[in-house]
Amino acid sequence: MILSTPARWLLRAAAIGVLTFVYVPLLLVLVNSFSSSATFTWPPPSLTLQWWQVAATNEGLRAAVVTSVEVALLATLIAVVIGTLASMALTRYTFFGQEAVSLLVLLPIALPGIVTGIALNTLFTQALGGLTFFTLVAGHATFCIVIVVNNASARLRRMSGTVEEASTDLGATPWTTWWLVTFPALRGALVAGALLAFALSFDEIIVTTFTAGPGLQTLPLWIFQNLFRPNQSPVVNVAAAVLVVISVLPVYLANRLSGDSAGAATK
C-alpha cells in the first residue's frame, strides 16, 4: 500500500501512542519491582533485589502462584482434550443441530465473565454442593475450551478432508488415520491453543472470584487483595511482574508457532 507522507506520519504517531499507553505502565511495574524505595518514586533511587527476596518468602504469594499454575495447567488439559473432540465433531461429521452447537461452543467467550461467573456459581453451590478447587478448574475450562476449539477448527477446516479419506483408502483404520494424518496436521494449532488458554486462565479474575473454593487464592486474586495495603506495594509489584511474564510468554510462543505452521501450510 502506498500512503502519502502525512498519512504515514499520522499512522506512525498513532502506533507509538498506543504502544506507549500499553507498555509504559507495564515497564513501570517491572522497574518498580527492583526499586529500593518502598513507595513509588521516579526515577528509582537505586536498584535492588530486596523485594523479590521478600516476595519469594511470602507464603500467601507462593501459594497463590502454585494455585494459579495448577488451575491453568488442569483447565488447559481439559480444554485440549474436550476441545479437540469438539472440533473434530464440528468439522468432520454432520449431525442434527450442528450449527447451533458450533455457536454454543463459542458463546462463553462472548458472554460477560460476570454472567458466566454467576451462572457457574449458582450451579456449583446449588446443585453440586459448593465451591472447591475443581469448580475453579471447571470454571476456567469453559473459556479455555473456546480457544482450543477455535484454533483446532480453523486448522481442520483448512485441511482437505480427502487427505483423511486417502488414508483410510490406503488401509488405515480411522484411529490410525487420526494418529498418522489428522493429529500431526493439528499439533501446531493445539499447542498454540493450549498456550493461549494457559495465559487466559493464568490472569483471569472475574470467573475465578465466583468459582474458587473458600480460602483458594490465585495470583490475580492475591494481587487484588494486597493492592491497597501500603506496606505490601513493592511485593505486589513483584507479583505483577511475575504475572506479566507468565502470561505474555505463552502468547508470544503461540504467536510464533501459529506463524510458523501457517507458513508451512501455505508454502
Partner 1 sequence: MPSVARSVPVTPPQQAGETPAISLRGVRKEFPGGIVAVHDLDLDIAEGEFVTLLGPSGSGKTTVLRLIAGFEQPTAGTVLLRSRDVTAAPPFDRDVHTVFQDYALFPHLSVLRNVEYPLRIAKVPRAERRERALAALATVRLEALGDRSPAALSGGQRQRVALARALVNRPAVLLLDEPLGALDLKLREQMQIELKEIQRTSGITFVFVTHDQDEALTLADRTIVFSEGRVEQAGSAQEVYERPASAFVAGFVGTSNVLAGADARAVLGRDGSWSIRPEKITVTAADHTAPAGWTTAVGVVEELVYTGATTRCVVALEAGGVLSALLLNGGGNDLPTLARGQDVRLSWRPEHEIHLM
What are the helix (H) ranges across the chain? 5-32, 50-56, 59-92, 98-110, 113-122, 133-158, 162-169, 174-177, 183-202, 206-211, 219-226, 233-266
Question: What is the nearest approach in angstroms of partner 1 to the Cβ of residue 90?
Answer: 19
Q: What's the min distance (Å) between Cβ of 159 and partner 1?
A: 8
Amino acid at 252: Y
Least Å distance between CB 164 and partner 1?
9
Contacts with 263 (C-beta within 8 Å, 6 or more apart), sequence order: none
Residue 1: count other Cβ atoms within 10 Å of its Cβ.
3
Neighbours of 63 (CB within 10 A): 16
Shorter beta-carbon distance to partner 1: residue 152 or 212? 152
Nearer to partner 1, 17 or 161 (CB): 161
Q: Phi and psi at residue 214, in whole multiples of 5°?
A: -60, 140
Which among 105, 100, 95, 96 is positioned nearest to 153, based on CA atoms? 105
Site track for partner 1 across 142-181, x = CB under 8 A: -----------------xx-xx-xxxxxxxxx--x---xx
CB of 151 or CB of 208, closer to partner 1? 151
Considering only residues 183 through 212, tell me which ones interact with partner 1, judged by CB under 8 A.
184-185
Rounded-to-integer distance, Cα 260 and Cα 151, Å = 14
Other CB atoms within 10 A of residue 77 CB: 16
Please report how close the Cβ of residue 195 comes to partner 1 at its closest, in angstroms.
21
Q: Compute the CA torsion angle 179, 108, 114, 77 (nearest 10 deg).
A: 0
**Least distance (Å) between residue 79 CB and partner 1:** 24
- CB of 175 or CB of 228, closer to partner 1: 175
- Among residues 122 and 173, whose Cβ is nearest to partner 1? 173
Which is nearer to partner 1, 154 or 251 (by Cβ)?
A: 154
- Here's the x/- map for partner 1, 6-25, by CB under 8 A: it reads as --------------------
CB of 161 to partner 1, least distance (A): 9
Q: At its nearest, how many Å lie between partner 1 and the CB of residue 165?
A: 6
Q: What is the C-alpha separation between 240 and 30, in angstroms, rounded?
A: 8
**Which C-beta is closer to partner 1: that of 179 or that of 252?**
179
**Total binding residues toward partner 1, as defined by CB under 8 A:** 20
Rg of the chain taking only CA atoms, in angstroms: 23
Binding site for partner 1 (CB under 8 A): 159-160, 162-163, 165-173, 176, 180-181, 184-185, 265, 267
